[in-house]
Chain A
Amino acid sequence: MIITILYYLLVAYVVFLMTWNILKSKKWQEEVLYVIVLIPFLLRLLRLK
């Protein structure tokens, strides 16, 4: 259970990093890439997949 919670915290951190990168990026291609990477982490964080 503790390991699972730690993994969810890691996922939340990646979601935060991806969102931060989108906001800081200056190229639209990178922003699209960050969004694509963000989706599976977001779905796991919301316990949808």
Chain B
Amino acid sequence: MLRKISILALGLALAFFSGLSFYRSRHLKEPVVLGPGVTQVKKLSEYFPAIKGSTNDANVYVLEGAKPGGAILILGGSHPEEPAGRLTTWILTENATLEQGRLFVLNSANRSGTTVTRLGGAYPPDYTIRTPWGEQKFRTGDRWSNPLDQWPDPEVYIHYPSRQELAYVDIRNLNRAWPGRPNGTLTEKTGYALTQLIKKEKVDIVIDLHEAELQYPVISTIVAHQRGQDLAAMASMVISAEEFKIDMENSPKALHGLSHREIGDNTDAVSLLFETPEPFLDATRGRTDARLLLEGKDEFVVRAGKHGLLYEKIDEKGWPIDVRVGRHCSTFIQVLDLWSQDHADKAVVMKNVPKYREVIQKGVGAFLHDPAKADPKTVYYE
């Protein structure tokens, strides 16, 4: 009996320490110091009360210019383990100011997905960005909502309303759940709430920030709904000529649930999705740690490139987070500039957001502010 008690106690100790680690990671507070441009902080449930109090009742940061104009919605954290998207939204909420129009920013579009890492993926629970005032920690997150918030998965996921059959696990994937369903799963309700936000706020452009593995063909690109093709093509040409190479892809009409397809089909907004390269996501990667997530260096992915298996270049310099965030910032700025040139009455004029070269030169951390020194009223948590 003593042996049994000892083995059971050892197991319970393992469960306790692993459980403690999971609990701490799930409840890690990520501060957002509101920048001078933020005029309101709403909750997503204001657009769809059924998600009030749920994990996905996310903060919606609203930046408003003095002059009326258009409205833009930018989403970070649709897939939280693609950190360039979330960090870009942090830069926007903490630094951007608007002269004209309105900007709606979600740092955690699928907040549930930020509270879990991939089962069996050996992901780091969090990562740290160095700043001039210290370090700021972020949850790594996963592509899918946390099973603690939505479980079990069905055998087959039937997308609503198209009835297209998708992979079962994608029932927890926000970017397969658009335009959402009011009486569906948490992920579908989140998609529905975001769709209501787009409709009620008369959003003109929705931008969904992502990253992709180098073995995936849709990479270093802007994916555009057909109503956004001209805008995306022009942005791609200008950025490729002036800053870095970025392509443009058409949103497939027959693939449902994705933001670039469903937002364009179900609302009046133009929908675009930005992709940057993230070697952390590649199946042939080596050790899956925070260093790989932030530096994007992996000898095995480089070797895959030498065998012609990649859709994007990679060398020993990797794909650092500063480069990836810089790409998102510059692409966003360029899209706003081009939109505003063509739509004077719906222009959105934004300032104080760094472009590609500045982010690389100073680092992402240079644009994050110290919550300890900020007025507590201006500090929100994701």
Contact = CB atoms under 8 A, between A and B. Distances in A.
Asked if A and B bind, the verdict is yes
Interface of B: 3-4, 7-8, 10-11, 14-15, 18-19, 22-23, 116, 147-148, 151-152
A39 interface: yes
A26 to B, nearest CB: 10
Q: Which 6 A-B pairs have the closest CB atoms?
A: A35-B11, A48-B19, A49-B22, A31-B7, A39-B15, A48-B22
Contacts of B8: 19, 22, 31, 35
Contacts, number: 46
B18 A22 contact: no
Contact of A43 (B3, B7, B22, B151): B22
8 contacts: A4-B152, A7-B151, A35-B8, A35-B11, A43-B15, A43-B18, A48-B18, A49-B148
Given A39-B11, A39-B14, A48-B18, 9 more contacts: A4-B151, A19-B8, A31-B7, A35-B10, A38-B15, A43-B19, A44-B147, A48-B19, A49-B116
Contacts of A22: 4, 7-8
A35 B18 CA distance: 14
Classify chain A: how many residues form its interface, as a range. 20 to 34
B151 A47 contact: no
Interface string A6-48: 0100000000000100110100100110011011001110111
Given A3-B152, A7-B152, A49 B19 contact: yes
Contacts of A42: 15
B91 to A, nearest CB: 32
Nearest to B14: A39
B148 A47 contact: yes
Contact of A38 (B11, B19, B148): B11
A16 to B, nearest CB: 14
A28 B19 contact: no
Contacts of B151: 4, 7
Contacts of A3: 152
Nearest to A43: B19
Contacts of B152: 3-4, 7
B7 A36 contact: no
A12 to B, nearest CB: 14
B236 to A, nearest CB: 42
Nearest to B152: A7
